[in-house]
Amino acid sequence: MQSRYDIAIVGGGAAGVLAAIQLLRQARGPLAIALLEPAPRLAEGVAYSTARGEHLLNVPTGRMSALPEQPEDFLDWLATRPGHADQPREALAAGFAPRRDYAHYLRERLRQAMAASPARLDVVPHRAGALLRADGGWTIEAGPERIAARRVLLAAGNAPRPLPVRGSGALAKPRLIDAWDYDGIAAIGPEASVCIVGTGLSMADALLTLAANGHRGQVHLLSRHGLLPLAHAPAHALDEGFEVESLHALGTRARLRAIRARVRDAGQHGLPWQGVMERLRPHGRALWRSLPAAEQRRFLRHARRAWDIHRHRVAPQVQAALQALHDSGRLHLHRARLDLAVAGQRCVQLGARTRDGRTLVLDVDHVVNATGLELRVQAMRNPLLDRLLGEGHACPGAHGIGLASDGDGRLLDADRRPQDDLRVIGSLRIGQDWETIAVPELRMQAEAVARDWLTPKTARPGLCAAVRRAAATPPR
């Protein structure tokens, strides 16, 4: 028999749970919601499934609320947790909590929303394999279940990039370990030699786990650009006077020049560069959309890495730990492009080409794939997305990244018609929005989709006052 729902959410990571919380909170009468998630625990997904205390949020506590209408909600929650009661509120707000705490927080808020709502939420513990158009909505095939839903919200989240190198297909765990396989990284022996491919935030996670486990072997870090994560400024800084709208008329190069000039100016007034980035943060989507397609391509080709390390920063204590490892002499940073990986009996041999044309050969016990998110939807190897594309219910987003959607997350079909009953939130909006991966954006998207779907069209007053205020304030 087919179960019937008003709304089905596909994906129960942070984005799907934020959407479920909003639907439950905004429902004014009976509403049946299905949340499809194959993982054993909700709200974890890739980012918050780590059980390791050294893996911290990369956004300060004071900005991680699940609720746009209550910007300090995560701070309030954390303040009641054991160990935090005596901490001054300001220090707690500016600090970086363990990521595992964040999943607990989201689950607690979900439970409370379920208890207080006239709506009903059923968790379906299966992966959605297909979405088929049916009378008045959709049929979802999920394991043994068939679910009918009038509307579907895709919150399928982040996909890992496969190691982009010849020979990697022959490598398997434990020789090749994904940086998001937190237990796999923790199982690396203390004397083992390791090469981490990719030098972003997931590399930092892997290094911190090695350090926490007393690792003493050699560690090679390898990436094409050799750029390491940068840290947040110790205190919140915001360049209030920067007129961000003035950037909209500029192309990529001129924008970056203007931002660098602003950073120099800010520095002369004692404001760290992070203050300029924080000022840009809530304007990420508008800045991206105001770039013509050719300029977006230029950004992706030439500026993305440098942008990422300035925009996605680590907690100061994480950077201090990385520095200590570097100073120990066991960390070797290589600016090189990985060409080949050969699996041997007892080790892996990696061949890479350095920027100055030399060949670099590394023999290591383990290779860690920390190359980050796969943005190209056709390379994500998600059967559901493949079928949506194949059957014309979706098409790739701008530059082939994410799925094409309108400004409110309505998926565009193959004829580029927006579908009101099939929406997307989270990183799959990246081609359209660029700034769409972290909680400050996810909670706004979740709130907006719930409001759009649940408010009768004639009675819609626009953004409620609290949300409007939150949207207008600096990044949270």
Q: Which residues bind ligand FAD (CB under 6 A)?
A: 10-16, 36-39, 45-48, 57-59, 127-128, 155-158, 202, 382, 384, 426-427, 437-439
**Residues contacting residue 90 through CB under 8 Å, at least 6 positions apart:** none
- Minimum Å gap between C-beta 297 and ligand FAD is 24
The residue among 25 and 232 lying less far from ligand FAD, judged by its C-beta, is 232
- Minimum Å gap between C-beta 393 and ligand FAD is 14
The residue among 99 and 255 lying less far from ligand FAD, judged by its C-beta, is 99
Contacts 24+ apart (CB under 8 A), 186-192: 186/52, 186/213, 188/213, 188/215, 188/365, 188/366, 189/217, 189/365, 190/214, 190/215, 190/216, 190/217, 191/216, 191/217, 192/217, 192/364, 192/365, 192/366
- Minimum Å gap between C-beta 440 and ligand FAD is 6
- Minimum Å gap between C-beta 147 and ligand FAD is 11
Please, what is the end-to-end C-alpha distance for the chain in angstroms? 44
- Minimum Å gap between C-beta 347 and ligand FAD is 27
User: For residue 160, is the peptide bond before it cis, meaning its omega torsion is within 30 degrees of 0?
Assistant: no
The residue among 255 and 429 lying less far from ligand FAD, judged by its C-beta, is 429
- Minimum Å gap between C-beta 128 and ligand FAD is 4
The residue among 163 and 336 lying less far from ligand FAD, judged by its C-beta, is 163
* 171-185 burial: b if 16+ Cβ within 10 Å, else e: beeebbbbbbbbebb
The residue among 39 and 300 lying less far from ligand FAD, judged by its C-beta, is 39
- Minimum Å gap between C-beta 325 and ligand FAD is 19
The residue among 160 and 275 lying less far from ligand FAD, judged by its C-beta, is 160
The residue among 252 and 405 lying less far from ligand FAD, judged by its C-beta, is 405
- Minimum Å gap between C-beta 148 and ligand FAD is 16
- Minimum Å gap between C-beta 387 and ligand FAD is 10
State the residue number with the nearest CB to ligand FAD. Answer: 45
The closest alpha carbon to 445, from 154, 158, 159, 238, belongs to 154
CA torsion 274→275→281→282, rounded to 10°?
160
- Minimum Å gap between C-beta 82 and ligand FAD is 21
The residue among 156 and 259 lying less far from ligand FAD, judged by its C-beta, is 156
Distance CA 85, CA 211 (A): 29
The residue among 370 and 398 lying less far from ligand FAD, judged by its C-beta, is 370
* The two three-digit tokens of residue 44, written as one number: 């974890």
The residue among 147 and 176 lying less far from ligand FAD, judged by its C-beta, is 147
